[in-house]
Structure 1
Amino acid sequence: MPKLKKRADGRYQRKVTLSDGRQKIVYGRTETQLKAAVSALLAEDDACLQVGDHTLVGEWAKIWLNSYKTSLRAATVRMYRGSYNKHIMPVLGCMELRDVRPVHVRKVMSSISDKSESTQSKVLLTMRQLFETARQNALLLRNPCDGIKITKHAKSTTKKYLSPDQADTLMQTVTEPRARAFCALCLYAGLRKEEALGLRWGDIGPTSMTISRGVTFPDGNQPDPSMELKNRASRRVLPIPKKLREVLLSTPHIGEYVVPTSTGDVMTSTVYQRLWKNHVTSLLDFPLHAHMLRHTYATTLYRAGVDLRTAQQLLGHATIQMTAEIYTHLEAEDSLKAVHRIDEYLEKCISSAASDVYKRQG
């Protein structure tokens, strides 16, 4: 190891020879700091890290998005880009990749701790993948996101699905044909919003229908021409329940799509929002968003005794854990209802005991 040298400004320095023959001078205000800096430099060199690289987080983010994310669905790319631009760039964008530590990642997460768990998860996922690919490309020694978690919030007590009475009220109240067909597709077949908007009459057979496209609006109002589904599991064949069949038979064909614009074209974001507000939510006396209809379908599967694996396939979930989470939540709700049966049993026991005492006293 080269000799330790103390500079005129009080700092210590040592010249280190790297594996490629290059020499680098390392500094420290104390001998302990210098030793740590030398150890870190040698560790980076041993790991084949590009010693001396000064790539900024913002520079790598552009490379990462263009090299790793361009093949994804437009909506997914927009999620990554939005998470970075809005929440990560203001804090980390001007930092060098090699300087980012867990404390800096925590600073980003702290700035969004009041946001939804979904937003936090997307931001953390973006950072984790951003830094992991940098590590794989020898720009980092370790991922600074390791061990970082989101801030959990108290779960909302608002139900995510409709009761049977609310579902009946919905279908009796909504009379506009396109809005009615949309609600029925989500309520009775569990279609996602984009899947219902992407369904064509040609996808519907005598007893089943094929889900093969989705209408999303990644850039604002106009639909994404690719019409890609959310994931591979989303492509599926679904049975058509009797109630859905009745609605579809009464829906006029004004274009190739089941839920089109008034002129029969593929739906735009503005037209959909207007349809949903004017012909659905404004007519109801309970809150409703489109995903609640799909969640109601999942609840129907659970109440009907449909097994977990089949439910996963019908819902088009990428993993069975997603379906299990819904089923587990419903099981927990059912367990709370057991208190009524417990009370009834205890009352019977008390009444029976009281009757025995009365008989003995008599």
Structure 2
Amino acid sequence: MPKQKLKRRSDGRYQRKVTLSDGRQKIVYGRTEAELKAAVSFLLAEDDAGLQVGDHTLVGEWAKIWLNSYKLSLRAATVRMYRGSYNNHIMPVLGCMELRDVRPVHIRKVMSSIADKSESTQSKVLLTMRQLFETARQNALLLRNPCDGIKITRHAKSTAKKYLTPEQAETLMRTVTEPRARAFCALCLYAGLRKEEALGLHWDDIGPASMAISRGVTFPDGNQPDPSMELKNRASRRVLPIPKKLREVLLNTPHTSEYVIPSADGSVITSTGYQRMWQRYVTSMVDFPVHAHMLRHTYATTLYRAGVDLRTAQQLLGHATIQMTAEIYTHLEAEDSLKAVHRIDEYLEKGTG
């Protein structure tokens, strides 16, 4: 058991010299005996856990090691997310602090600074901090993860529709006539492809009754596509049935490139090329808001309305977890329950007649 000696300093603080398990000695301070006792207990707990007591590694120093050792093998877009979350939101608050000094209150300070940001942004920042400090704990630089128990600030959900009505979907496909734009809309609307999956699709991926999703076109560094063409997750690699409406569109789409949605010169499309196509041939053609992910969400709605079970819907959408699919289904179920009020009113009116 380490030896401990209590002493009161001239400034009124208490101090105790603690001998650690490796023979080193460290002086601990406290304004009261209770505060000193708590500081000693924390130090001994760190020592028992095998931490290098007295380590002065800064959060910023560890962040560089963490990114290079744990994250560089991931998709470029994912690395960019972690780097952006740290540089823009975490570093200004925690970068110059020592790892061992970070407490939950400091994590809350970061989260408070972005409480007005989207839930998505908050989740990415909290995920980055949680993993950053968890790997520090696994490397015996921390006793516990200061992010434990921290949550994002939920916002009131927007009342804007996340999907198209059947009438809007029909109008879109009737109005969008440019071949590439029409094929893109059909792939997202009738097969639920993500934007990057539709842009990465080859004609060779399409068979008589199904198509294979095996690559995605993303733009992590600006305009040029990522050469790796990696998909978002393992579940994204899937084989999808081709509905009749999609088949009709594809049969009438010219084969000008190996890509179904190529750039004007037939090569893989750039970010600028996609934006130009979308604005010129899609959004300018309809009088209602529409974006690519809205078409994918419309497909998810179609699956729900068609009675497709949750597990099958997860596989068709390429969701990494069934919770993601369940969230969409639950939202649609809630909408349906609100519509039931008309049937309730009709029943009650009959009962009182």
In the aligned structure 2, how far is the partner of 1:333 from the partner of 1:340? Answer: 13
Structure 1 position 116, deviation (Å): 0.6
Partner AA of 1:295 in structure 2 = H
Name which of 331, 346, 349 aligns with 2:348.
Answer: 346
1:185 aligns with 2:187: yes
**2-structure distance, mates of 1:233, 1:192:** 13
Q: Who is 2:42 aligned against?
A: 40
Match of 2:228 among 226, 229, 235: 226
Q: Deviations over 1:78-103 (max 9, x none)?
A: 11110000000000000000110111
1:273 to 254, 272, 275: 275
Cα distance, 1:61 vs structure 2: 0.4
> Partner letter of residue 214 of structure 1?
G
Residue in structure 2 matching 1:243, options 242, 245, 250: 245
One-letter identity of the residue aligned with 2:90: I
Residue segments in structure 1 that go unaligned for 5+ positions in a row: 352-362
In structure 2, distance between residues paired with 1:319 and 1:212: 19
- Counterpart for residue 208 of structure 2: 206
One-letter code aligned to 2:6: L
TM-score, structure 2 normalization = 0.97
Q: Distance in 2 between matches of 1:312 and 1:32?
A: 54
The Cα of 1:31 is off from its aligned counterpart by 2.8
- Please name the residue that 2:108 is paired with: 106
Give the partner amino acid of 1:189: A
Quote the Cα distance in structure 2 between the aligned partners of 1:316 and 1:323.
9
Equivalence map 1:1-362=2 (5 Å): 1-351=3-353
- TM-score, normalised to structure 1's length? 0.95
Kindly, what percent of the aligned residue pairs are identical? 88
Any conservation in 1 of the 2:206–2:212 contact (CA below 8 Å)? yes
Deviation, structure 1 residue 253: 1.0
Q: 1:35 to 1:281 in 2, by over 3 A?
A: same
Rate the CA distance shift 1:116–1:2 in 2: closer, same or farther, 3 A. closer
Worse overlay, 118-127 or 335-344: 335-344
Q: Distance in 1 between matches of 2:156 and 2:260?
A: 39
Q: CA deviation at 1:346?
A: 2.4
Task: Specify the SS of the correspondent of 2:224.
Answer: coil
Q: CA deviation at 1:350?
A: 3.2
AA in 1 matched with 2:151: K
Deviations 1:283-306 (A, max 9, x none): 111111110000000111111111
Contact 2:119–2:152 (Cα < 8 Å) also in 1? yes
Maintained 8 Å contact 2:89/2:125: yes
Pair 1:29–1:336, CA change in 2 (3 A): closer
The separation in 2 between residues aligned to 1:21 and 1:34, in whole angstroms, is 21
Q: What is the distance in 1 between the residues matched to 2:85 and 2:299?
A: 31
Aligned residue for 2:116, secondary structure, equals: coil
- Residues of 2 paired with 1:137 and 1:203: CA distance? 44
* Higher-Rg member (1/2): 1
Aligned residues: 351
Are the structure 2 counterparts of residues 8 and 255 from structure 1 closer, same or farther at C-alpha, using a change threshold of 3 Å? Answer: same
SS of equivalent to 1:3: strand
Measure how far apart 1:344 and its partner are. Answer: 2.0
